[in-house]
Structure 1
Amino acid sequence: MTGQVPLFAFEDVTCTRDGRDILDHVTVDIPADGITAVTGPSGSGKSTLLRCCNLLEVPTSGRILYRGVPLEEQNPQQLRRTVAMVFQRPTVFAGTALDNLRAADPSLTVDAASSLLDEVGLAASYLDRDADTLSGGEAQRLCLARALATRPEVLLADEVTSALDEDATSVLEGLVGRLAEPADRGGRGIAVLWVSHNPAQVDRIADRCIRVDAGTVTA
C-alpha cells in the first residue's frame, strides 16, 4: 500500500562471516502484509537476510528497521516472539507435543493448545504424542503451531518444505497462506517472509518476490 511503513527496511546492510560478505550493502524494503518470497541460488545469502530480521544474525554494518524502529533498540527475546521463525528442518524438543507448545508459552491451556494444533491441521489427540514419533510433515506443523503460540505478527519461514514430500509441502503452503490472510477473510493477518529456491513454489504462494544473488538484492 502506498505510504505504508515497511515491515522491514534494510539500509546498506552488510553481514561478514569468516572474511566473506554474506550480505553486501543490501538496501531493500519488505512490505507489511501478505507473503514475500526471498529467492535465489544456494549460498546467495537468503537465509542470512531472513535471520537478520529477528537478530539471529547481527549486521556487520548498516541497519535494519522493524516497522520503522531500528532493531538495535529492540529486546531480542521479545522480538523473536513477535517475529517468529520456522526452520528448514523441523526441530522438536524432548517430550510430548503439548510440552513443545508450552516451551513457547508455559501458561498454555490444553484447550488453547488443541486450538493451535487444529489451526495447523493436527488433531487434539496429538497433544499426548511423543514429538519424536511424528513424521517430518507432522513435526513441521508442530513447529509452526509452536511458533504461533507466541502470537507473532511476522512469520519467518526458512526453506520450511525442503525436507518434506509433495503432500506435506502442499499442506504447509496452504496453512501459511491462510495465516497470511487478513482477519476479515478468516486469517491471522501475519506477514510472512518465505525463503525458497523453488520457482514453482514461489509462483504458487508469493504476493511478491525479492531475489538475492551473491549477497546482493538483484530484483
Structure 2
Amino acid sequence: MAEPALIELDRVGLRYGAHTALREVSLAVARGERIALVGANGSGKSSLLRVLHGLLAPSAGRRAQRDAGLRIAMLFQRPFLLRLSVRANLRLGLWLHGVHGAAAAARCAEALQRVGLQAEARRPARALSGGQQQRLALARAWALRPDVLLLDEPTASLDPTAKREVEALLAEFAKQGLTLIVASHNLGQVKRLASRVIYLEHGRVLADVPAARFFDGHAGLPREAQLFVRGELPW
C-alpha cells in the first residue's frame, strides 16, 4: 500500500452476547478503493461495516484510522428520513455537522442537483419513491463531503431502474476519488462497481482479492468462495 491505510482492522472480533459476529478479521482500506463485502446472510457483512465506521467497538483486536478527522458516512438499506421536506432533510444533516447558512444552502442545492432531485426539494421526503429516497440518502451522505462511504445493501429493495440510477451515482462518486465499501448480495452489481472483493463466512474473511480474480476463474480461492460465486451456496 503506497500510503497509510485510511482504516485498519487487526484481528478484530465482535460479539453480541453469546453470538460471535466477527472472528479474527484483519484488513486495511486505502484511499480510493471500491470494496465489496459478500457472503451469505449472517456472514458478518453488516457487522463489519459498523466496525469499519466506528459505530461498534470491537470485542477483541484493534481498529485504527489514519486521523481523527477522517470523514465517514454510512448508508443503510432502509434510509431513515424525517417527516420533513427533501431539502430540510439535507439541511438538518448539514446543520448537525456544523455547516450552516449560505454554505449549507449551496451544498444542499449542489447535492440535489447531483442526484437529480432539484424538482422534489419541497416535497415531503417520505412521499418519494423508494429509488428517490435512496438517492436522497446518497445526497445527504455526499453533502457531508465524506472520505469514506459505507453502504449496506443500497439497492436491495429497489426496482431495476432505481438500481441503475443508484449504481450510476456510486460509480460517479468513485470516479471523484471517494472510497466506497459496499455490502451486497447482487454479484452483478459487485462486478460492475468493485475493484476488490472480501468474502466472509461465519464472521471470518476467507478471501480478500481483486474483483477480476474473484469472478474470472476463481483460481486460488477457497472452495466456499468458489461455490458462492457460482451460486451453489445459499445466501
TM-score (norm 1): 0.87
Checking the alignment, whether the CA contact within 8 Å between 2:91 and 2:105 is kept in structure 1 is no
Instruction: Describe how 1:9-158 pairs up with structure 2 within 5 A.
Output: 9-67=8-66, 69=67, 74=68, 82-106=71-95, 107=100, 109-122=104-117, 124-158=118-152
Distance (Å, rounded) in 2 between the aligned partners of 1:111 and 1:59:
38
State how many pairs are aligned. Answer: 201
% identical aligned pairs: 37
Question: Quick check: 1:90–1:136 contact (8 Å CA) kept in 2?
Answer: no
- Deviant stretches of 4+, over 2 Å: 108-112
Structure 1 distance, partners of 2:2, 2:105, is 42
- Considering only aligned residues, what root-mean-square deviation do their CA atoms show, in Å? 1.5
SS at structure 2 position matched to 1:84: strand
**In structure 1, C-alpha distance between the alignment counterparts of 2:105 and 2:119, rounded to whole Å:** 11
- 2:189 is aligned to 201
Q: Which residue of 1 aligns with 2:223?
A: none
Q: What amino acid sits opposite 1:215 in the alignment?
A: G
Deviation at 1:197, TM superposition (A): 1.7
Is the 8 Å Cα contact of residues 14 and 62 (structure 1) preserved in structure 2?
yes
| TM-score, normalisation: structure 2 | 0.81
Structure 1: unaligned runs, 5 residues or longer: 182-186
CA contact (8 A) 2:49 2:150 kept: yes
- Identify unmatched segments of 5+ residues in structure 2: 208-235
TM-aligned CA deviation for residue 201 of structure 1: 1.3
Please give the secondary structure, in 1, of the residue aligned with 2:53: coil
Task: Work out the CA distance in 1 between the residues paired with 2:157 and 2:168.
Answer: 17
CA distance in 2, matches of 1:17, 1:159: 21
Larger Rg over CA atoms: 2
Q: Match for residue 184 of structure 1?
A: none
| 1:66-112 Cα distance to aligned partner (Å, 9 max, x none) | 22x5xxxx4xxx76xx1001100122111101110012112254443
Q: 1:9-29: CA deviations, max 9, x gaps?
A: 110100001212100111122
Q: How far apart, in 1, do the equivalents of 2:22 and 2:104 lie?
A: 42
